[in-house]
Structures are given as structure tokens and as C-alpha cells.
Structure 1
Amino acid sequence: MADLDPAEARTLLARAFVDDPLMRWFYPDDDARPHACAAMFGLFAEHYLADGRVDVVRRPAPLAVAMWQWPRPDDAEPEAAAESLPTVGGLMTAFMGAERAAEVGGALGLLDELRPSRPHAYLHLLAVHPDARHQGLGGEVLERGLAAARSAGLVACLDTMNPVNVPFYEAHGMSVRHEARLGAGGPTVWAMATG
């Protein structure tokens, strides 16, 4: 397990993603967005800290984190549906309303279609604290996961909705495989992969 607890992770992720185009589309209210992001990212952090790959850079506080989903071995049992609350869908419904949550959820279905069909390592979240950007920490935490994917013989992939991120990932050996718009009024997504 990474040297990171869920509260640290959700706070870092919320601060890093508060102005991300996807989060602005999800939660347009500037005052509510940091809290909605923290709640949603807290669930992802709990999941990846328990059953994923998490790389973190601390100095001494956590300044950068990458959360990866890895393929399960063929004989592994699928992860049981979480029985604890809240769920990501439940939070989105609570924050957005049922109709808007269904619209956003439907638009996000496109992301699965853009991923490689073969087993792959999926970078779900990479965050650098806003006060620590442009110090190489994002590249440091990214390279750990990319090296692990290479040694496992896996293609690494991700989806970014922030155009600023595209050149960063390209500099680390990833390329844009697909570009598409997420729903009506949604941000553009760049699906990127290695190899």
C-alpha cells in the first residue's frame, strides 16, 4: 500500500483537479466544486489504495500521486460490488440531480470504448498539488507506473480532458489514439496510450 491515507489523497486530488475541464463540466458551481471533487475522489482513493497501484511523492506532505488500474489475472475473482456508501453514482446524483447524472454517466460510457481491448494498465488519476507544479513531480510519479507497465508487458493508457496535459504525456512516450467530445457541451477527451 502507498504511503498515503484516503484523506490526504482526496484533498490532494480535489486541489489538483478543481479547475480541470471535466470537473468544471461536472460541477459548474465554483464554491461547491472543491467539496464535490473531494467527495468523489475520496471514493476513488479508497478503491485504489485497497486494490490498485498508487504511487506517491511526499516532501514530507504528499505532493503528487498516480492511481492505476491493473488487469486482473484470468483466474482472479472479480471485485465484489462495494456495499458501503456512498457510491460514485450516488454522489453524482446527489450533487447533480438524477437527470444530469444520467446524462454525464452516459457520456462517460464513451471512455470504455476508447481503451485498448487487450489487457492494459489504466492511469485513472495523476495529480500534482497546485503549489508544486513544474518541479518534475508529475513525471516522477508517472514514470514509476509506466516502468511497472513495461516490465509487466502491458500497454499503459489514460484519458485526459485537459489540453495542457497532452504534451506532458507525449513527452513521456504516450500518444493520442482518439480525440472525441464528451456529450453535449462536455469537454474534449484525448485517449492516450504507449506503444
Structure 2
Amino acid sequence: MDAIVKVVADAFATDDPIEEYVFPDPEIRHRRSRDMLRIMIRHRFLPSGGAAVADLDGKVAGALLWYPAGYRRTLWREAISGPQLLWAMGPRATVRGLAIDAANAEVAPREPHHFLVYLGTDPSLQRTAGVGRALVRWVLAQGSAQQAPVCGICKDANVPYYAAFGFEVQRTVRIGRDGPEMNFTLAQPVPVESV
């Protein structure tokens, strides 16, 4: 899990409006985001089957963290992870994290869907090795196999990246009252051909 935490935290350390909204101070972001990610991976993504990694030369080169189709938060997991997240993030960042969860819930489709939360590639490999592309193609294949759309929110600069995979901007959503405005994108599953 530490390798996933490292690659995702490094990928989102700078130039990410949501991480900067949660942890405005870069030093605090560097310290606290790793603990936050570790708790989210342990209590949300791994138990739900919403974690995949790309391996390159025996090392984690990228990771995709998402809420799979049909994901539901359980009271038990929230009761365990909530206090841990509060401790790891601090009170202000926790409130901002809840605003992100609320924005995701606001835009999420009613039908079963995969909701992408983090797609991170080792910064030294970004835009060169195809790590992120492989992970996105993989989750799109999962969505098509289950006939579930794949969606998520992203900043303006990432819209063309996702558009290349068939994601379309559905609307924008503001995170909290004073947070960034993000694009909600969605890719429909490829229809399964009848035999």
C-alpha cells in the first residue's frame, strides 16, 4: 500500500485544485495527504475492489483509485475511518473533504457506475510511458463488461486527456462554497454485441 500512497501523493502534490483546496499550505499537504490517502485506500478503495496499479520494472508506476459500480459506504467503515481521517487531515481539511464527497454525490449518476477519484502516475513517467492510459483503458473495459458508465471530476486542463477516451463533460460542479469548479465527465460503456 505504501507504494500506491507514494505514487498518488507525488502525482497530486502540485497543480491539483482539489488537493490544494483540501490542504492549501504545501507543507501541510505534503505531510497530511499521505496519511489521508492511506486511510482512504485501506477503508474505501481496497475493500470495495476500487484500486488498480500499473507495474513497470517491478515498481508501482501508477495507480487508479475509484468507487466501483454499486459501491456503498457502510456505517461500520465510516465509523472506523471517520475519526482516523479527522486525525490525519485536521478539522478544516476534513470539512473540505466532506465537501468533495458531497460534490461527487451531487453529480454521480443514479444507475450503477464507476466513479474515478485518483489517477496518478509517477511524475518522472507522466506523459511518456502510457501508464495512465493503460489504467484508464482497463477501467473502461471493466465498465463495458458490467455495462456501467465510468465517470469522475477533473480540472479544465485534463478534459482533453479524458475526451480522448470518450469521456464527455456533462456539467460543472463547485466544491463547497469557495472551492474550485470542476468538470464532471462521463464515458458510456461500449455496448456488448449479442452473439
TM-score by length of 1: 0.82
Query: What CA deviation, in whole Å up to 9, does each residue of 1:104-133 have, x standing for no partner?
Result: 524641221111111111112211111110
1:90-169 alignment runs, 5 A limit: 90-92=84-86, 95-97=89-91, 101-102=94-95, 105-106=98-99, 108-135=101-128, 136-160=130-154, 162-169=155-162
How many angstroms does 1:53 deviate by? 3.2
Task: State the secondary structure of the residue aligned to 2:31.
Answer: helix
Structure 1 CA distance for aligned equivalents of residues 66 and 88 of structure 2: 27
How many angstroms does 1:102 deviate by? 3.2
Q: Whose helix proportion is higher, 1 or 2? A: 2
Q: Which residue of 2 aligns with 1:3?
A: none
Percent sequence identity is 21
Structure 1 CA distance for aligned equivalents of residues 163 and 7 of structure 2: 24
For residues 35 and 88 of structure 1, do their structure 2 counterparts lie closer, same or farther at Cα, with a shift above 3 Å needed?
A: farther
Task: State the secondary structure of the residue aligned to 1:179.
Answer: strand
Task: State the secondary structure of the residue aligned to 1:35.
Answer: helix
Cα RMSD (Å) of the superposition? 2.5
Unaligned runs of 5+ in 2: 189-195
Query: What CA deviation, in whole Å up to 9, does each residue of 1:54-90 have, x standing for no partner?
Result: 22111121111112322339xxx974522785x3565
What amino acid is the match of 2:108?
Answer: R
Unaligned runs of 5+ in 1: 1-5
Structure 1 CA distance for aligned equivalents of residues 178 and 75 of structure 2: 34
Task: State the secondary structure of the residue aligned to 1:131.
Answer: coil
1:67 aligned residue (54, 60, 65):
65
Is 1:16 the counterpart of 2:11 in the alignment?
A: yes
How many angstroms does 1:93 deviate by? 6.3
Which stretch of structure 1 is more off in the superposition, 178-187 or 58-67?
Answer: 178-187
Is 1:189 the counterpart of 2:182 in the alignment?
A: yes
TM-score by length of 2: 0.82
Q: Which residue of 2 aligns with 1:28?
A: 24
Contact 1:173 1:194 (C-alpha < 8 Å) held by counterparts: yes
Structure 2 CA distance for aligned equivalents of residues 181 and 115 of structure 1: 14
